[in-house]
Amino acid sequence: MNPFLRYFFGGLLLLAAACDGQSEALPTQMSLDAISTNSAATTAAEAVVAANAAATSVALVALNQPTALPPTWTASAPPTEPPTQVVVPSTTPVPSDSGTIYYIFNGDSIALLTADGLHEELILVGGAPADLTLSPDGQFLAYVADGANGTREVYITTLDGSVVQAVSCAGLAKVRLPAWSVDSSRLAFAGSESVNGALGIYTTGIAGSRQCPTGNGQRLLSATAITTLSSLTWSGDGKYVLFSSDSIYGVDVGTGTLFPPLTRPYGFGPDFNVVRRPDNNNVYYLKTDQDDQTGAKVGVLSQFDPATIGDSFPLQELPGTRLAANWMRFSRDGRYLVASSNSGSVSVQDMRQGTASTVALGSQFPPQAVPSPDGELVAYLNAGSDDSSVAQIWLVGRDGKDAKQLTSHNEGTISDLNWGGNTG
């Protein structure tokens, strides 16, 4: 039996067991208190956290096994529009060293899929995970999940799901968008005491999380009057946490100062999807604009240098390519920018050459495209070649060739694609 199907039907058995009053535990938690300077000293219950650029690491120690909610399996709704392009799956093999894709399945599980399509499994089940994100050093996944007494907290897990640790203890009803610092030692996130309340911007360390908040330095950087935000990131130098909510905003990590809006929208829609470019300190985002000929909304790729944050606002914005995009991600080295739109297109821009090409069209689901670590491949969502009602993960070369369907799920939803590995 396909490994993923084995886990899938296992999830159904968990659900049946829950109906009988039984529960299934998440994998063992881990301790991030003990700092070790020997990065090679790992065991089956240990992993390494890069605490700083000096290669300090954190030993993971097995703890108790908390109870988790059972999974729920719900088929995704069929798309409302027919496909505009028929894609024939490629038979070209994907290199075996192309890494691993991580994603949230069905809103209640975290899954991994090797990029060659040969192995797929659920690594964590339950807790309603959201906002999954891979650390820059490729060692951990961070996500938001259920905490105690109806709260939501930030967790991290090893890449196989064998050990899990809560790294926040804010006790909030709403927690969103954990974002890794460049050195993978800290996370920033947004949270509110009520589901619809104003959000605060928080930071928390990885080491010492068992003694949260004193051990890992969890702190509220700044309260805001904002109730929704669409993205959150760090500046490359670690001085600022930046987020989007109509405009782009910034918080000084050292002082907690919340600055006035750093950008000024054009008037056709918000500035959104703020991301850090890995190979420099500049911050990139999309500005909503309107095409003069068609009237369609487009995103203008824009950037600013956080070093210019000072007494004059808004900052000088540097607009660039006009993209039909709602989502974008950089390759690990910052050379390639992958952008996708909710209407189903995926494009790749070479940031060094200044060229761009469309690699997929007509996806029946928002593609949520992400590049492989080396930027040579792109993973995205589209309907399966034999079933238009269920989203599947596809791969395509950055040249738009050799599209390949990787998954063949019978039901369920896919979101929060991340791609890790040693390439690039």
DSSP letters for 291-332: -TTT--EEEEEEEE-GGG-SSSSSPPPEEEEEE--SEEEE-T
- Could you tell me which residues are beta bridge partners of residue 25? 67
Contact partners, residue 335, CB within 8 Å, separation at least 6: 279, 350, 351, 352, 375
Over the chain (424 residues), what is each successive 10-residue block's mean pLDDT? 44 37 42 37 34 31 28 31 36 67 97 95 96 96 96 97 96 98 97 97 96 96 96 96 97 96 96 94 94 86 94 91 91 95 94 93 95 95 93 96 94 96 55
Indicate the helix (H) or strand (E) that contains 149: none
Indicate the helix (H) or strand (E) that contains 36: strand 35-36
C-alpha–C-alpha distance, residues 306 and 187, integer Å = 19
Which candidate, 392, 31, 413, 369, places its Cα nearest to that of 210?
31
DSSP 99: -
Which candidate, 99, 98, 124, places its Cα nearest to that of 111?
124
Burial of 179 (0-12, 13-18, 19+ CB in 10 A): buried
DSSP 254: T
C-alpha–C-alpha distance, residues 229 and 272, integer Å = 9
- Strand pairing report for 163-166 and 174-180: unpaired
Contact partners, residue 26, CB within 8 Å, separation at least 6: 65, 66, 67, 68, 124, 125, 126, 127, 164
C-alpha–C-alpha distance, residues 355 and 347, integer Å = 11
C-alpha–C-alpha distance, residues 237 and 250, integer Å = 13
Phi, psi (degrees; rounded to nearest 5) at 18: -65, -35
Burial of 322 (0-12, 13-18, 19+ CB in 10 A): middle
Coil/strand/helix, residue 16: helix
- pLDDT score recorded for residue 13: 31
C-alpha–C-alpha distance, residues 420 and 334, integer Å = 15
C-alpha–C-alpha distance, residues 160 and 419, integer Å = 14
- pLDDT score recorded for residue 29: 53
Q: Strands of 159-245 (E only): list them.
A: 163-166, 174-180, 186-192, 200-205, 219-223, 231-234, 240-245
C-alpha–C-alpha distance, residues 3 and 13, integer Å = 15
- pLDDT score recorded for residue 126: 95
